[in-house]
Chain A
Amino acid sequence: MIDIYNELTSIVDKDFVSNKPEELYIYGRDPGLMPAHEPEYVVMPSTVEEVQAIVRLANREKIAIVPKGGGLSLTGLVIPQKGGILLDMKKMDRIIEINEKGSYALIEGGTTHGALKSHLLKNYPHLRHSIPDSPPIATVVANAVIHGQGRLTQQRGFNSDMVCGLEVVLPTGEVCKIGTSAVSDYWFSKGAPLPDLSSLFFGWCGTTGIITKMAVKLYPCKKLRDVMLFLTDRAELVPDIMLKLGRTEMIEDLVVTAQPIPLRYAGNYYILFYITGDSEEELEYKRKYCWHTLWEYFEKRDGGFVSLVPEMKAPLLSMPSKDTTRFADVSKGGGFEYSGPIAPIEKYAVYVKKLEELAVKYNLYYSSAARMIDGGHSMMFSFSYTFNRADAQTMKRAKQALDEAAEYALDNGGVMWKPNLDEQKITIRKMDPNTLELMTRIKKLLDPNGIMNPGNWEVL
């Protein structure tokens, strides 16, 4: 019998290979609600050659491989459903190049959002990337793999839309460049003018290859940033307000929050949006413009601006927002998870009603953040519920609420984002059979032995 552990330690420094119960335990679960399942090995590669050698070994022995970044997608996407090798990518964390004139950063497959943000701020303060509000350990690659959304998503689309090139180790072990870097020394586009192959790796949840390098677009970082807050108690007005603000083309990010506590939040919808400028004059112009844009709601007594003192602004302006993470401890239970459909913004009011209904039905504490995507083409609406890790009952109830939310969202125009296994199943059930067939063929072609993150998108 072949000794996989020894083979792995002949590829990667033995300090970074483990088959001990402690590592298997930790890498067998994520902070969300999907059941645990442990890998047999945890490995931390440092180079693309090491990744290749591991993939070849896994192929030969038909062992599962699951790539992992920060493990914060919360929906069990990095729980190794079929055991095998868990690849913690975070040792591949170099920022290889900042191409200032080409406005992109070339990074490795385990570089964190925190590290990229910090590097830019220190060395290229005039440039920024689209940072999500996930904790800073989330990797830039994994976030794009699941079509994450960041602080520039309102203006520029999904974070995966802001990718401009990949290097991937295919499930069969070849290293493959995707985008202009396949032909040129420059990583300026993930597809155009070539056939765009990048979509073979986004939305697939690590089932089609391991991304070892990625280029992401950088955008101007204006000198000043401010946040504004508009409040309404009429959920049905929220989509129009979002759209009106989006169409000013003056706002950076827009998130609508709904939650029952603190009490002043109950029954209100908080529309937070950000403006940026290179001078106070520019900022003031935008402030006024946004103010005028929403004036009609104020006149009809349907809403109004909330003035924010500096202490309130500081946490709202920080990136990522620690407040988002704090939600996990509001009921002192250490857990929350969200079902996050990507949906038409016109669905805001019905989704929020469902969110509240489910919270009552399952006796849970809720919150929702709806981030506008690409000027209003869609939104990510989170049905978020907390649970107590020490209380199996709350965990069960939260999972039931999330399952119901997902069913509801799918029946009401939404498509599940970073879907867990159950959500993948219901998505597949609803999917156009020809689309499903195409996905099946692609998966088979790329991963003939079915070793990549098996269990996920298992369309057969």
Chain B
Amino acid sequence: MKRYQSQIHRCFRCGYCKFPTDYSAYNCPAYSRFRFDTYSTGGRLWLIYAWLKGEVPWSEHLAEILYTCTTCKNCVEQCPMKFAPEIVDWIIEARSDMVEQGKIPARVKRFLESVYNYGNPLKKTAAERLPWTKGLKKYKEGTQYLLFLGCLASYEEATREMVENCVKALDEAGVSYGTLGDDETCCGNEVYAMGEMELSKQLAEKNISKFKELGVKSVITLCPHGYNIMKNQYQNMGYPFEVLHYSQVLAKHADEIARKVEGEVKGKKVTYHDPCYLGRHNKLYETPRKAIAAHNGFELVEMPRNRRDAFCCGGGSGNFINDYLAGSKDSPARIRVREAAETGAGILAVACPGCLIMLKEAVKTENLEDRLQVMDLATVIAKSK
């Protein structure tokens, strides 16, 4: 019996998990978007329990309710009960039961099939990796860091600046790095969150065997999702190595890449959006802020919901592709860019390719392009020349 089956009845449906710490807004992205109690954490847990008991049959709608959870962990932060740390694990375990029974919604199915067939969720062959990633040095034994790009940075055009500027920053920092090139495969974080544990394990094994073969000791990930699974799962699979998110490297080498803030970003306030998998999942709140603050002249302003209370962009758990939370002015990414614009910031800094794509799109939809630019941390720094 999976653990969730014996525990899930413990949710009281009190709704603390709908909020941030100060109760100023709704902070579960799925609940904010749909507003039926079914889409709140409590509603979801009660529905899972009802499904287990046979009181609610499986349906596409039921499964979609489960998959609108972005695994952002706001509920884990806010639930007052002792079981709080387990909530997202329960949701994932319930999804894994659905996966095992072949009962998953259409978009999730497409995502998983694509990873299975192509090694990434975007149905791309290795040959279709974006040109600027192909040009990067390949990792060889003795290189300091393996730069793990992740699927979005490898195949989504919108991340181009992010990739280029990260590489630039690494060059300036004077560290040596290389990529796996065509051998890089999906990290498996989203696949895991979607409940396809077996596939996730296979992907991890594949990447780890490559790391082993090349003698990799340190990995830098561009994506917090990759950082998360490597830090918390790969580590337990018999080949220990150091994992860093690129924001940690930027912060560590801030002196070498130091800027006086000039150029395009001069005079603009910056607000930082905490990615769930860096923040709530791994408690890295200050390091990315330091990465910007280290450069003379940036004015960092906070959104009302920040750090452990940050509002998810709606992209987690594969939703940067599946996008179950899209289609409304209450879509989380749209809410988040409005919140960012209200701070008076001209730049919304992110540290995740998923957030970058989601929030860039939302800025367009909200017609905020004149007021707000979405950039990743390395791009913010690069543009301050």
Which residues of A approach B to under 8 Å, CB–CB? 15-16, 18, 20-23, 25-27, 30-31, 42, 44, 70-72, 88, 90-91, 112, 114-115, 117-119, 121-122, 135-137, 322-323, 325-326, 328-329, 332-336, 388-390
- Of the listed residues B19, B23, B43, B65, the one surrounded by the most CB atoms of chain A closer than 10 A to its CB is B23
Chain A residues lying within 8 Å of B65, measured Cβ to Cβ, are 22
> Which chain B residue shows the least CB distance to A114?
B23
B56→A136 contact, CB < 8 A: no
A117 to B20, CA, bound (A): 13
Chain A residues lying within 8 Å of B81, measured Cβ to Cβ, are 325-326, 328-329
Q: Which of A15, A121, A388 contacts B34 (CB 8 A)?
A: A15
A322 to B62, CA, bound (A): 30
Which residues of B approach A to under 8 Å, CB–CB? 6, 9-16, 18-19, 22-25, 34-38, 43, 46-47, 49-50, 55-57, 59, 61-62, 65, 80-83, 328
Q: Which of B9, B18, B37, B38 contacts A389 (CB 8 A)?
A: B9
Chain A residues lying within 8 Å of B19, measured Cβ to Cβ, are 114, 136-137
> Which chain A residue shows the least CB distance to B78?
A322
A325 to B14, CA, bound (A): 7
Chain B residues lying within 8 Å of A22, measured Cβ to Cβ, are 38, 47, 56, 59, 61-62, 65
B46→A26 contact, CB < 8 A: yes
A25 to B16, CA, bound (A): 21
B55→A25 contact, CB < 8 A: yes
Q: Which of A26, A72, A91, A390 contacts B43 (CB 8 A)?
A: A26
A135-B16, A388-B9 provided; 12 other pairs, C-beta below 8 A?
Answer: A16-B35, A22-B62, A26-B38, A72-B14, A91-B35, A117-B23, A137-B14, A325-B14, A328-B12, A329-B83, A333-B9, A389-B10
Chain B residues lying within 8 Å of A23, measured Cβ to Cβ, are 36-38
Q: Which of A18, A121, A135 contacts B15 (CB 8 A)?
A: A135
A334→B16 contact, CB < 8 A: no
Chain B residues lying within 8 Å of A389, measured Cβ to Cβ, are 9-10, 49
A27 to B38, CA, bound (A): 8
A18 to B38, CA, bound (A): 11
Known contacts A22-B61, A118-B24: A31-B36 contact under CB 8 Å: no
Ordered nearest first, which 10 A-B pairs have the shortest CB separation?
A114-B23, A137-B15, A328-B12, A322-B80, A334-B10, A389-B9, A118-B24, A390-B9, A135-B14, A329-B81
Cβ of B326 to closest chain A Cβ, rounded Å:
12
A148 to B188, CA, bound (A): 49
> Which chain B residue shows the least CB distance to A328?
B12
Cβ of B327 to closest chain A Cβ, rounded Å:
9
A325 to B84, CA, bound (A): 13
Known contacts A16-B35, A21-B57, A22-B38: A119-B14 contact under CB 8 Å: no
